Amino acid sequence: MKISRVWLQTYFAKPLPKTEELTNGLTMHAFEIDGVSKFQNDDILDVKVLPNRAHDCLSYYGIAKEVSTIFEIPLDKKLLEGEIRKLPESNEFSVKIETKNVKRFKAVNIHGVKVSPSPQWLKTRIEAMGGKSINNIVDITNFVMFELGQPMHAFDADKLTKKGGLSFIIRESREGEKITTLDGVERTLTEGAILITDGETDGKNMLGIAGIKGGAAAEITEKTENIILEAATFDAPTIRKQAKLLNIRTDASIRFENDLAPELPTYAIDYAVKIIEELAKGENFRVEGEFDYFPLKKNVYRLGVSVGEINSILGITLEETEVEKILKRLNFPYDKIKNPLQYIVEESKEYIGAPYVLGASISSDAPHKFDCSSFTSFLYLTAGIAIPRVSVDQYVCGEKIDEKDAIPGDLVFSNTGEKHIWFETHEFMKGTKVREGVDHVGVYLGNDEVIHSNGGSGNVLKEKLSESNRFKNIVGFRRFVKTDEVRLMVSVPFERLDLRIKEDLIEEIGRIYGLEHIPALLPEPLGREPEVNREFFDAQKIREVLVSEGYSEVYTYALVSRGEVEIENPLASDKNFMRANLSDGIKKSLELNSKNAPLLGLNEIRIFEIGNIFGKNKEETYVCLGSILKGKVNVEEFSLAAAYEKYGHKEIEKCKPKENVKYSPISPYPFALRDIAIFVPSNTSSNEVEKVIRENAGEYLVRLDLFDKFEKEEKISYAFHLVFQSLERTLTENELNDSMTKVTAKINSLGWTVR
């Protein structure tokens, strides 16, 4: 995201650090800076916001909070705090939601706006982001999006049909429907796009593709006087999919496809209305009322962590006061839980009488209603300890303890014998079998007492464990807290959707502390010798022996045309079986390598493979050796154990690394082989002849090998292999003949003779 330094400064009373210091601080503690450019008298930082922070930091407010935390500069402008203007429900405007892919839809009906060019400061803000100023209303919606990260849209209310009032229908598109967007392009929709439509036309008049691009039907112009201002949150995968299908990528779709907090529209609407009242207030300006669809309101998300957990994961030794200082810098509210188990016991009694509702949600129903496992999960969460949601998952997750060792705050589980007994885990280590079955859980209070959310009585109650109908068949006790260490219970700001487990919070603390301050330390010794992976050890030992003896390792296909194990969905018709041996692949590899032997300058070939073969009921590791020595092909295959017996016990000399080794690319084009034999005087060395050939054979000679020599009548005959190859193309016969002609001519000019 582009960030104007001048714009960013509006969030602080204190001057920002110099641009270089600002970029360094952000890079070390938050985001990389891809570059800095100039716009008028302003520095524009190109901040690389990754998807995990797109929900809050594709905004000036998000970046300003990061700067405030990193440099410990107090924020002067706090857009997500303070009082929100309360508006009455609209009497003139309504919305009907016909898709589950809308999380929040908030809109206000505003009369008497005056559309005009934006003031210069607003134009400059929009242009600094690479945009174009359109008019004050449209610019305000874009400005608020850049400020808060919440896209918005304004509709001309007078362009809507007014049969029984003003209304929207939010629905999903049907295959082949068409809409003309604000850029004047008619677009054909696939099924499933979220559409904002004119409700008074039964949704036929489409006003915009929600989360992606507005429609031309209700476009804001200089004649607009009354508007519907909307801010919403939608299902992120749906926006991502539809934007890709439509080949549209807008500032809005980028933000929506990375998910946004459903609380954000409230602040965006309030902020935008204030600015509209300042910059676009006409003679009869008034905010008539609002519509707000928010079906699933959630509690503040809370995470608990101890200083011991922080230090253990980060490998540092922070003190509690240091951790608290970092949390304050992050502006994360927190409580301190000094004795978690005792806290759970005392807190549990506060909810006696709360109604039982099967499937009650921790995030939205608690603390007003519970089922048995949401009750225990919620209580532990209030003490800063995350445990699974479902009773059987809690049972498997916790540390097993005997009843005689149970202390207040531990959990007790039972099998009530009713219909819905869990015999395997639901989410935690999903599918783990629980033979005894679990369907109920409560908090053990000691002295034969238990507190639990009881479906039988319909509420949370405390009773004698030995007298409870729900605990007639106790299957076990479990413990989740092993120390009395103080836990810090953090209330996560609603916009921080990335903080969902304690490890997220620890990572957050670590980056503000400074990853550069975390020492690189080896882990503590185990105190015992690690077990040797015998198969890996044997294979590595065999590999070292064979390489030392001149073998090269190869990898051949495990998918073949015949074998014992057939593949259900083969990749190709000749790869529909798993291999039953390694030898077939080694033979093919020998054949291929023998064809390239002249290019490689090899008189013999030695290769091996270590890999798995597949029988009907087994999979085993085998070793296969292949060689071509003096023209004879030899292939041997062994089980790994047999190969180790034969090769693994030898003393291996370490190969000395070759010096001055240079990389040469392999040509994809075929090589050509030519031979030449030359008679020269007996006092002529092979090196002299080789030099003449190299100097005259041309640029495509890649290898020259002496393969024969004999003396006759005071002359010596030298015979050479010449290998020609190009990196760019296949050489022609004429080019090869040319090279050989030049070599022959030079040899003849020296008084030597080509045989």
455-473 pLDDT, tens digit per residue, is: 999 999 999 999 999 999 9
Radius of gyration of the chain (CA): 38
Residue 603 is predicted with a pLDDT of 76
* Residue 237 parent element (H or E): helix 236-246
611 or 665, greater pLDDT? 611
For 734, the 3-state DSSP assignment is helix
The band of 644, judged by pLDDT with boundaries at 50, 70 and 90, is confident
The band of 355, judged by pLDDT with boundaries at 50, 70 and 90, is very high
**Mean of the per-residue pLDDT values of the chain:** 93
Using the predicted structure, report yes or no on whether residue 475 has a pLDDT greater than 80. yes
**Helix, strand, coil percentages, rounded to 5, for the chain:** 30, 30, 40
67-101 CB burial, b ≥16 within 10 A, e <16: bbbbbebebeeebbeeeeeebeebeebbbeeebeb
Residue 428 burial (CB < 10 Å; 0-12/13-18/19+)?
middle
Query: 10 Å Cβ neighbour count for 65?
Result: 24
Using the predicted structure, report yes or no on whether residue 655 has a pLDDT greater than 60. no
Residue 653 is predicted with a pLDDT of 45
Query: 10 Å Cβ neighbour count for 349?
Result: 12
The band of 377, judged by pLDDT with boundaries at 50, 70 and 90, is very high
What Cα–Cα distance (Å) separates residue 349 from each residue in 408, 441, 616? 13, 16, 61
149 or 85, greater pLDDT? 149
Residue 649 is predicted with a pLDDT of 63
Nearest-angstrom CA–CA distance, 440 and 424: 14
For 29, the 3-state DSSP assignment is helix
Nearest-angstrom CA–CA distance, 563 and 732: 42
What percent of the chain stands above pLDDT 90? 84
Nearest-angstrom CA–CA distance, 20 and 22: 5
Over range 227-255, report the average pLDDT.
97
Nearest-angstrom CA–CA distance, 204 and 161: 11
Closest CA to 518 of 317, 325, 327: 317
The band of 658, judged by pLDDT with boundaries at 50, 70 and 90, is low
Using the predicted structure, report yes or no on whether residue 534 has a pLDDT greater than 90. no
Query: Is the CB of residue 327 less than 8 Å from the CB of residue 488?
Result: yes
Per DSSP, 17 falls in state P
Over range 590-596, report the average pLDDT.
84
The band of 118, judged by pLDDT with boundaries at 50, 70 and 90, is very high
The band of 106, judged by pLDDT with boundaries at 50, 70 and 90, is very high
Residue 548 is predicted with a pLDDT of 85
Using the predicted structure, report yes or no on whether residue 656 has a pLDDT greater than 60. no
For 38, the 3-state DSSP assignment is strand
Nearest-angstrom CA–CA distance, 195 and 143: 24
Nearest-angstrom CA–CA distance, 627 and 67: 66
CA dihedral angle for residue 649, residue 653, residue 659, residue 665, rounded to 10 degrees: -20
Query: Is the CB of residue 116 less than 8 Å from the CB of residue 222?
Result: yes
Using the predicted structure, report yes or no on whether residue 599 has a pLDDT greater than 80. no
Query: 210 — alpha (psi -120 to 50), left (phi > 0) or beta?
Result: beta
Residue 749 is predicted with a pLDDT of 93
For 192, the 3-state DSSP assignment is coil
632, two tokens: 């004879």
Q: Which residues contact 165 (CB under 8 A, 6 or more apart)?
A: 92, 93, 94, 200
Phi, psi of 407 (to 5 degrees): -125, 160
Over range 520-526, report the average pLDDT.
77
Q: Please state the length of the chain.
A: 755
| Tokens 């507005």 -> residue | 214
248-257, 647-656, 700-709: range with lowest mean pLDDT: 647-656
Phi, psi of 55 (to 5 degrees): -70, -25
Nearest-angstrom CA–CA distance, 136 and 156: 14
Phi, psi of 434 (to 5 degrees): -125, 95
Over range 51-55, report the average pLDDT.
95
Q: How far apart are the first and last CA of the chain?
A: 74
Which domains are seen in the chain, by residue range? 2-71 (3.30.56.10), 93-293 (3.50.40.10), 339-485 (3.90.1720.10), 534-648 (3.30.930.10), 672-754 (3.30.70.380)
Residue 519 burial (CB < 10 Å; 0-12/13-18/19+)?
exposed
Query: Is the CB of residue 402 less than 8 Å from the CB of residue 427?
Result: no
Query: 10 Å Cβ neighbour count for 194?
Result: 24
Residue 652 is predicted with a pLDDT of 46
Query: Is the CB of residue 495 less than 8 Å from the CB of residue 56?
Result: yes
pLDDT in tens, 407-430: 999 999 999 999 889 999 999 999
CA dihedral angle for residue 588, residue 589, residue 592, residue 597, rounded to 10 degrees: -140
Residue 199 is predicted with a pLDDT of 96
The band of 371, judged by pLDDT with boundaries at 50, 70 and 90, is very high
Paired with 509 in beta bridges are none
Between β-strands 605-614 and 552-553, what pairing exists: parallel, antiparallel or unpaired? Answer: parallel
DSSP string across 356-422: B-TT--TTTTTTT-B-HHHHHHHHHHHTT----SSHHHHHHHSEEE-GGG--TT-EEEE---SS--E
Strand order across the beta sheet in which 102-113 lies: 152-156, 227-234, 102-113, 281-293
